Structure 1
Amino acid sequence: MRLYLIRHGETLWNEKGLWQGITDVPLNEKGKEQARRVAERLKRVDAVYSSPLLRSFETAKEIAEKFGKEVRIEHDLRECEISLWNGLTVEEALRRYPYEYKKWSVDPNFETKGLESMRSVQKRMVNVVVKIVAQERLNNSSDVVIVSHSLSLRSYICWVLGLPLNLHRNFKLDNASLSIVEIESKPRLVLLNDTCHLENT
């Protein structure tokens, strides 16, 4: 089985460099075009899963419609809860909440009101992907799309690679990027943050 891990297309908040978390921001026009491009990139899809957030669902819907599938919403594919600094730039968040921002950035177990720990994100992401894989094996699926978010997907990829969770900051996932995990005896990453389908957008 192959898991096509796709980060949602661009939103206005992405364009402005603002933290979004679970704020429900839709795709902007560029993001809609990115969603169309990533859908065209895929050649076969047996199932499409998405975070409940609109930017993820809109991206997933483009893919699902191309292959005549329905989008299956999984709540645990949502982005990390960071409402403490939603709508702020990195610089503004660091200035207003220096302790919380620095602590959360280096300690995967740190959480406080308005901030979900990255450990919590990783745990729910791993659990929901394991559930999806089990379900799709019963359906004899070979190509499964999962549309989610940067922090959530990076936390899962760290688990696949056996990396300490705080190393999720050592790589990036661009909007509408494609990463692929093959599921055999154990999952392995075969593609990371590929965006060749977005050239000239």
Structure 2
Amino acid sequence: MALKIFLVRHAKTDWNDRGLWQGNSDISLNQAGFEQARRVAQRLSTQNVQIVYTSPLSRAYQTAKVISDTLKIPLIIDERLRECEISLWNGLTMEETLQRFQREYQIWSSQPDAKIEGVESLGSVQNRIVQFLQELIQKPFESTVVVSHALSLRTLICWVLKIPLNEYRNFGLDNASISLVEFQGRLRLIYLNDTCHLG
């Protein structure tokens, strides 16, 4: 039987609504975000999920807690699921980032192992979340939920699809979206960025 791994991007925050980089800033869900989390939980309630893993950051943990409470299943925090550290441009819009840090951003987004102070490389993010996934597929579950962040999940999906890390911007991951990865001897992406449950 295939192991189902539902990858959930955390639900909405006020910073998401304003288009601001969040990184490891600990921003909570807003009211719309909690409603999105409830809809994710409702969508997953038919999937025989046995456990939820989450990033420790509030927006992911709160999303995961709604899921675990609704489905009445255990919730485990794993540091490897946290978002990319981007303190250099946290709280800025993309436009502001490019005005102030265009060179740094271009290096970071194109070179997986870029060394820029205040910014974790995409390669580092991918290494830790892939390590998490490789441990997860050894566990005796049939269906799990992993709640994390846009950048972290994109690096993971790049690895599953065997595409270069600097292609991470070529697909979207909306707030409270669900992507499904299955493992049965090999990993396969079944669907990506599904938001039909948000109506």
Please give the TM-score of this superposition, normalised by the length of structure 2: 0.96
Structure 1 unmatched ranges of 5 or more: none
Deviation per CA, 1:129-188: give whole Å up to 9, x if none: 111222x32xxx211000000000010000000101111110010000000000111110
CA distance in 2, matches of 1:154, 1:190: 15
Deviation per CA, 1:52-85: give whole Å up to 9, x if none: 0000000001110112122100000000000000
Q: How many residues align?
A: 195
2:180 equivalent in structure 1: 180
**Higher mean Cα deviation, 149-158 or 102-111?**
102-111
Amino acid at match of 1:160: V
CA distance in 1, matches of 2:136, 2:156: 13
1:32 equivalent in structure 2: 34
- Written as runs of structure 1 = structure 2, the 5 A alignment for 1:134-173 is 134=138, 136-137=139-140, 141-173=141-173
- The match for 1:66 among 65, 70, 82 is 70
| Residues 177, 195 of structure 2: 8 Å contact kept | yes
Q: By how many angstroms is 1:111 displaced?
A: 2.5
1:57 equivalent in structure 2: 61
2:136 equivalent in structure 1: 132
Deviation per CA, 1:7-57: give whole Å up to 9, x if none: 000000000000000100000111100000000001121010000000000
CA distance in 2, matches of 1:81, 1:120: 10
CA distance in 1, matches of 2:104, 2:155: 19
**Higher mean Cα deviation, 106-115 or 53-62?**
106-115
Amino acid at match of 1:93: T
Structure 2 unmatched ranges of 5 or more: none
2:13 equivalent in structure 1: 11
Please give the TM-score of this superposition, normalised by the length of structure 1: 0.95
| Residues 108, 116 of structure 2: 8 Å contact kept | no
CA distance in 1, matches of 2:161, 2:64: 25
Amino acid at match of 2:127: K
Partner of 1:83: helix, strand, or coil? coil
Runs of 4+ in 1 over 6 A off after TM superposition: none
- Among all aligned residue pairs of Structure 1 and Structure 2, give the percentage whose two residues are the same amino acid: 52
Partner of 1:127: helix, strand, or coil? helix
Tell me how large the CA RMSD over aligned residues is: 0.8
**Higher mean Cα deviation, 74-83 or 102-111?**
102-111
